[in-house]
Amino acid sequence: MAAYWGPTCRPRKWVLEDAKEELDSLLRQSVREHLISDVPLGIWFSGGLDSSTLVHYAAELGARVKTFSITFKGRSFDESRYIEEVSRRYGTEHSEFDLNTDIDLTGAVERFAYHSDEPCADAGALPVWFLAKECRKDVTVALSGEGADELFGGYVT
């Protein structure tokens, strides 16, 4: 059992099953609240634990799920197989953009740098920029599980 400091500032003892139920309830509630929109809504979908969790709960709640991904076909870090599997399982309306050498990367880096407020050394920033640009063609709002893969131990590296 692990201790959790609840709202009364008194430790609460957790049993694994109770903790799983609480997490499930909180995730469902959060996704439900974030699906409320009066404009077209989608989910940034990497195929990782974070975005797959969003897709799961959105589909479970009856939402018509639109997903958007950046792929890296033929690269070791491409997650297309997970994207395809989860998208098929939940019947998402899926769009993807393959980030490859056929696109104008130099021009994209220049435009990205121009729009950035300050220098940026995040290797994932450019793919996210492409993702936002591509998904904006179909939706106004996008949910993202950005960072939750690490929280839930989704990567070995």
- Distance separating alpha carbons of residues 97 and 78, to the nearest angstrom: 12
Q: Where are the alpha helices (DSSP H) in the chain?
A: 16-34, 49-60, 80-90, 105-115, 125-135, 148-151
Q: Would you give per-residue pLDDT tens digits along the chain (157 residues)?
A: 455 555 666 677 889 999 999 999 999 999 999 999 999 999 999 888 889 999 999 999 999 999 999 999 888 888 899 999 999 999 999 999 999 888 888 888 888 888 887 777 777 888 888 999 999 999 999 999 877 767 777 666 5
Contact 149, 48 (CB under 8 A): yes
Tell me the domains of the chain and their CATH numbers.
1-34 (no CATH), 41-151 (3.40.50.620)
